[in-house]
Amino acid sequence: MTLSWTQIMRLGLVQMALGAIVVLTTSTLNRLMVVEFSLPALLPGLLVGLHYGIQLSRPRWGYTSDTGGNRTRWIIGGMVILAIGGFGAAFSVTLFAQSYALALVLSVLAYALIGIGVGASGTSLLALLATATAPRRRAAAATITWLMMIFGIALTAGLAGSFLDPYSPERLLSVVAVVVTAATLITILAIGRIESRVSAMKEEAPTPFLEGMRDIWGEPKTRNFTLFVFLSMNAYFMQELILEPYAGLVFNFTPGESTALSGAQNGGVFIGMLIVGIVATGLKIGQLRTWVIAGCLGSCAVLGLICMTGFAYTGLNFSYLVVALGVFNGMFAVAAIGSMMALASEGRHQREGTRMGLWGAAQAIAAGFGGLTGALLVDVMRKLTPDGPAFGTVFAFEALLFLAAALMAARVMETQKSPHTASLVPGE
């Protein structure tokens, strides 16, 4: 048996729960550190970079899923670890006013737990999707689960933002406690008995991990797509740690307003993904390669406008620009995810989890490096220029990275000749 649409939706709930916790640690908490506690943007950049760095273990998690083992155990266990890390990160932020050293130590520990939790739960979940989903449903399954994750991120950011004002440490901890508890319960209820009802193929004679990784890296399609993921995700995540501080420092957004802004941005991502899903899958208009390029170029253009708001008054509505950025980010992301799920089953058989782990590791490295680079560049530029131009310069650099990603996608992604393969659901 393979996953039914209902079971795919249930796995999407797990992805939604995962995103709900992560969005608080990568948006709200870093804004509090930079604005409320006047800490350098490099600090949250290093902490988020730590949690992404630990996710270099993703290929190993994927390999474990390929060669057998209880994926459900790792999905639930990883979510519990993530929940503990998420609450610990929020608690650590509240301690910076009392003891910087203690808060820093606890923050490092908390973000390390976040990295372990995301790596274990997220990769095992993707491996289950890749190996237990019918080939004709794989890309659609990826689209559904990512849409649900973005919905969870947008919903959490929006609701959390409304409850965080007026800000107080007690209010922050209460909001985070509710989110992590709800996410854990949703995961346990949603994942229950799915794995036992589907048959995912397992290797009778597992290839050693390093040998398997060498085999996969030797596949030109896998290698080229890994490099594209790294470049594009650098561009995608460079604004992650600086957009909310920018809103607070330049546009005087409150913590609740900037958190809600993050929710609006992810709402835009959801809309962008939905557009591609409907137009490419339902109407069969455009190829995955085309949508990836369009998303990258659109993101480049919007970032150029956001850059302009930092240098002078433009009359442009900043919130609308952030939503537009989310829309184009979503278009690019869902098309890339559709390509990823299709490519995961190509090449040597029973390597879906390992390939997903490799691309997940490339994404994690790029996300950590991109976020850290953005934060570091902002700190450097703020010493040389006022806040607006400092942030604007970094946004301009990010726009150039999206342009480079579009050019790379045009070179490394194949043009599909069949009208059916142009959709997100090959064969349907």
Question: pLDDT tens, position by position, for the chain (428 residues)?
Answer: 788 889 999 999 999 999 999 888 877 787 788 877 888 877 887 888 888 788 888 888 777 766 766 788 889 999 999 999 999 999 999 998 889 899 999 999 999 999 999 988 988 888 788 777 776 676 677 778 888 887 888 788 778 877 887 888 889 999 999 999 999 999 999 998 888 777 544 444 566 777 777 878 877 888 888 899 899 999 988 888 788 888 888 888 888 888 788 778 888 988 998 888 788 766 777 777 889 999 999 999 999 999 998 887 777 889 999 999 999 999 988 888 877 776 766 656 556 667 777 888 888 888 878 888 898 899 899 999 998 899 999 999 999 999 999 999 888 876 544 433 333 333 33
427 domain-assigned: no
Please, which residues have CB within 8 angstroms of residue 199's CB and are 6 or more apart in sequence?
Answer: 1, 2, 132
256 domain-assigned: yes
CB-based contact 225:41 (threshold 8 Å): no
* Packing angle of the helix pair 352-384, 220-237 (nearest 10 deg): 30
193-211: burial string, b at 16+ Cβ within 10 Å, e else? ebbeeeebeeeeeebeeee
User: Whole-model pTM?
Assistant: 0.74
419 domain-assigned: no
At 279, list the tokens: 């137009």
Closest CA to 298 of 399, 422, 371, 395: 399
CA distance 107 to 88: 7
The pLDDT of residue 204: 46
424 domain-assigned: no
The pLDDT of residue 369: 85
DSSP secondary structure code for residue 348 in this structure: S
CA distance 299 to 218: 32
108 domain-assigned: yes
118 domain-assigned: yes
362 domain-assigned: yes
* Helix, coil or strand: residue 26: helix
Domain containing 316 equals 5-412
The pLDDT of residue 322: 94
CA distance 328 to 405: 13
Quickly list H helices, 24-137.
29-31, 42-54, 58-66, 71-94, 100-132
CB-based contact 88:110 (threshold 8 Å): yes
Q: Which amino acid is at 285?
A: I
428 domain-assigned: no
CATH of the domain at 94: 1.20.1250.20
Q: How many structural domains comprise the chain?
A: 1
Using a 10 angstrom Cβ sphere, with 0-12 exposed, 13-18 middle and 19 or more buried, the burial of residue 283 is exposed
Quickly list H helices, 252-386.
255-276, 288-311, 318-344, 352-384
